[in-house]
């Protein structure tokens, strides 16, 4: 290190600071955003359903209460909050990169000199004590933008963690809404099954009367009883599924398993039209896409840091304090001392570590770019899937409702024909089973329509705003 004048050090730092080698991040060209939504008309409106607050999209009072509760108490949300707090601490550290380091130290040094040493041979008192109170300051000039890039990397990492927190919120809202809709659909299926059980209990009495009249055999009675028992078994399956799904909902709400209050399936509102907005809106709406870009930004800035290591670094160190051999004179003007050192260090040979770090940083930056593009493509696929499913389920619902009406009529007519001897009991059994299956299918289509709305909202990145 060379001892130099302080003004010269400052002047050199100011001149070299204009020689940044760090580049500014610009978003790469993304041709992938041009055709993200397959089989969907080109969006003509920039407004997306993702811009709608969740309490406006979901209107069921029980559901909105559960979402509020989940956002407050869910353990995954609370973990994400702590992860964000940790990232914020690193962000503060990055902002402090421009500041110098300052340390204070107080020492007592006792020394016993050898009688045969250079100084001990002529000193009568070979025992010495030295008291020191010192402060040391070190500062590095950000000549090439290394500190600036490090700070920006910390900022990107923090924003990535914020986006991850937003993703947890979006996923949680979707999970609570989906679970709630499945519960009301199971209630509807249970109601249909209970009505079927009651109807089949009456049919058993009727078929027994027909057997007494000699119109059918015991085989017909047994078949009716078997169909009745199958309906009872279906009821048990539905009640079990409801019970376990209520437990799942309780965990989402951050509390122990309990009964979940709810309305009915027919009260749920399905939007007649959903606006998806421009595909590019996924870049600022969808948390996982945003997180992937922040990861790319962080990798880009770390590449800047690695590149700057090839260039010389300018450091300024200073130390000062009180130094005395006599404790009575320790804190005294005559005990003051100070040093100021400026140095310029150029790496020449470092076992290829600097070049390796730079190549690794470049590879990680390219990996982050590919991951960013992949996240964008996956987001487009999920939006396309959800919208197409919603359209398909709406079409299927219309067909299935017509099928239910026809099969209900067939079931009623088959009962009459059986009583008059024009049909066999097997025809009646088939008609009744088909009618039950069709009614359950209608409920399933209604459920899938509701879930498709949730999926579109989640796929577009709604809920966290």
Is residue 5 pLDDT above 60, yes or no?
Answer: no
Q: What whole-number distance in Å separates Cα of residue 301 and Cα of residue 151? A: 9
State the distance between the two ends of the chain, measured CA to CA, in whole angstroms: 55
Which of the pair, 456 or 95, is modelled with greater confidence? 456
Per-residue pLDDT tens for 116-172? 766 666 666 667 788 888 988 888 877 788 888 888 888 888 888 888 888 889 999
Which structure tokens are listed for 236?
């048990």
Is residue 4 pLDDT above 50, yes or no?
Answer: no
Per-residue pLDDT tens for 401-420? 887 777 777 666 666 666 66
Quickly state the pLDDT bin for 68 (edges 50, 70, 90): very high
For the segment 288-296, the average pLDDT, to the nearest whole number, is 91
**Residue by residue, what is the 3-state secondary structure of the chain?**
CECCCHHHHHHHHHHHCCCCCCCCCCCCCCHHHHHCCCCCCCCCCCCCHHHCCHHHHCCCHHHHHHHHHHHHHCHHHHHHHHHHHHHHHHHHHHHHHHCCEEEEEEEEEEEECCCCCCCCCCCCCCEEEEEEEEEEEEEECCCCCHHHHHHHHHHHHHHHHHHHHHHHHHHHHHHHHHHHHHHHHHHHHHHHHHHHHHHHHHHHHHHHHHHHCCCCCHHHHHHHHHHHHHHHHHHHHHHHHHHHHHHHHHHHCCCCCCCCCCCCHHHCCCCCCCCCCCHHHHHHHCHHHHHHHHHHHHHHHHHHHHHHCCCCEEEEEEEEEEEECCHHHCCCHHHEEEEEEEEEECCCCCCCHHHHHHHHHHHHHHHHHHHHHHHHHHHHHHHHHHHHHHHHHHHHHHHHHHHHHHHHHHHHHHHHHHHCCCCCHHHHHHHHHHHHHHHHHHHHHHHHHHHHHHHHHHHCCCCCC
415 within 8 A of 398, measured Cβ to Cβ: no
Is residue 241 pLDDT above 90, yes or no?
Answer: yes
pLDDT, residue 418, reads 61
Tell me the sheet residues that pair with 336: 322
- Domain of 273, CATH number, reads 1.20.1600.10
Mean pLDDT over the full length of the chain: 81
Is 151 among the domain residues? yes
Q: What whole-number distance in Å separates Cα of residue 104 and Cα of residue 415? A: 98
pLDDT, residue 19, reads 52
324 within 8 A of 134, measured Cβ to Cβ: no
For the segment 203-231, the average pLDDT, to the nearest whole number, is 80
Quickly state the pLDDT bin for 234 (edges 50, 70, 90): very high
Per-residue pLDDT tens for 44-53? 556 778 888 8
Place of tokens 């940790």: 86
pLDDT, residue 238, reads 94
For the segment 285-313, the average pLDDT, to the nearest whole number, is 89
Q: What whole-number distance in Å separates Cα of residue 414 and Cα of residue 410? A: 6
Share of the chain above pLDDT 90, in %: 20
Please report, for residues 72, 75, 92, 297, the alpha-carbon distance to residue 159 in angstroms, rounded to integers and kept in the order given.
21, 21, 13, 10
Q: What whole-number distance in Å separates Cα of residue 465 and Cα of residue 316? A: 46
Is 1 among the domain residues? no
Is 2 among the domain residues? no
pLDDT, residue 316, reads 84
pLDDT, residue 78, reads 83
Q: Residue 122, exposed/middle/buried by CB under 10 A (0-12, 13-18, 19+)?
A: exposed
Is residue 15 pLDDT above 60, yes or no?
Answer: no
pLDDT, residue 187, reads 95
Is 380 among the domain residues? yes
Give the chain's domain count.
Answer: 1
Is residue 295 pLDDT above 90, yes or no?
Answer: yes
Is 4 among the domain residues? no
Q: What whole-number distance in Å separates Cα of residue 92 and Cα of residue 419? A: 84
Most confident option among 178-182, 216-220, 277-281: 178-182
Quickly state the pLDDT bin for 24 (edges 50, 70, 90): confident
Half-sphere exposure of 281 (CA within 13 A, CB side): 21
Per-residue pLDDT tens for 344-396? 777 777 778 888 888 999 999 999 999 999 998 888 888 888 888 888 888 88
Is 256 among the domain residues? yes
Which structure tokens are listed for 175?
């999970």
Residues 6+ apart with CB under 8 A from 208: 221
Is 315 among the domain residues? no
Q: What whole-number distance in Å separates Cα of residue 74 and Cα of residue 97? A: 36
Which of 167, 454, 456 has its CA nearest to residue 290? 167
Is 99 among the domain residues? yes
**Rounded (10°) CA dihedral 33, 35, 38, 41:** 110
For the segment 193-214, the average pLDDT, to the nearest whole number, is 82
What is the extent of the structural domain holding 377?
18-106+144-310+356-459
């Amino acid at each position: 290190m060379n001892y130099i004048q302080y003004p010269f050090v400052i002047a050199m730092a100011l001149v070299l600071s204009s020689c940044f080698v760090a580049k500014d991040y610009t978003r790469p060209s993304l041709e992938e955003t041009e055709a993200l939504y397959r089989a969907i008309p080109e969006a003509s409106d920039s407004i997306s359903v993702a811009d709608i607050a969740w309490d406006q999209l979901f209107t069921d009072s029980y559901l909105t209460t559960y979402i509020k509760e989940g956002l407050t108490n869910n353990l995954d949300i609370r973990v994400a909050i702590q992860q964000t707090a940790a990232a914020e601490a690193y962000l503060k550290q990055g902002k402090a990169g421009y500041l110098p380091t300052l340390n204070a130290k107080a020492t007592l040094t006792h020394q016993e000199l050898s009688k045969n040493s250079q100084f001990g041979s002529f000193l009568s008192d070979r025992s010495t004590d030295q008291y020191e109170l010192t402060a040391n300051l070190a500062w590095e000039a950000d000549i090439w933008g290394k500190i600036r890039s490090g700070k920006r990397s910390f900022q990107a990492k923090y924003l990535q963690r914020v986006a991850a927190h937003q993703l947890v919120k979006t996923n949680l809202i979707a999970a609570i809404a989906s679970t709630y809709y499945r519960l009301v659909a199971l209630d509807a299926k249970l109601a249909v099954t209970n009505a079927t059980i009651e109807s089949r209990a009456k049919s058993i009495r009727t078929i027994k009367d027909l057997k007494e009249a000699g119109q059918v055999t015991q085989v017909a009675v047994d078949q009716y009883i078997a169909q009745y028992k199958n309906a009872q078994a279906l009821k048990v399956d539905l009640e079990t599924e409801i019970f376990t799904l209520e437990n799942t909902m309780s965990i989402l709400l951050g509390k122990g398993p309990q009964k979940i209050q709810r309305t009915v399936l027919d009260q749920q509102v399905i939007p007649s039209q959903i606006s998806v907005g421009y595909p590019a809106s996924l870049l600022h709406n969808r948390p996982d896409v945003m997180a992937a870009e922040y990861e790319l930004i962080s990798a880009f800035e770390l590449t800047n840091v690695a590149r700057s290591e090839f260039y010389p670094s300018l450091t300024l160190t200073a130390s000062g304090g009180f130094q005395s051999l006599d404790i009575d004179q320790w804190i005294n003007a005559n005990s003051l001392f100070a040093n100021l050192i400026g140095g310029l260090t150029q790496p020449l040979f470092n076992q290829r570590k600097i070049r390796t770090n730079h190549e690794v940083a470049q590879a990680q930056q390219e990996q982050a770019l590919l991951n960013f593009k992949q996240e964008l493509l996956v987001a487009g696929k999920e939006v396309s899937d959800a919208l197409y499913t919603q359209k398909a389920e709406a079409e299927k619902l219309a067909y299935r409702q017509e099928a239910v009406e026809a099969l209900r009529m067939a079931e009623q007519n088959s009962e009459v024909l059986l009583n008059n001897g024009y049909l066999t009991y097997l025809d009646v059994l088939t008609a009744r089973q088909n009618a039950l299956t069709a009614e359950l299918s209608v409920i399933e289509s209604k459920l899938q329509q509701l879930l498709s709305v949730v999926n579109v909202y989640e796929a577009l990145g709604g809920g966290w705003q």
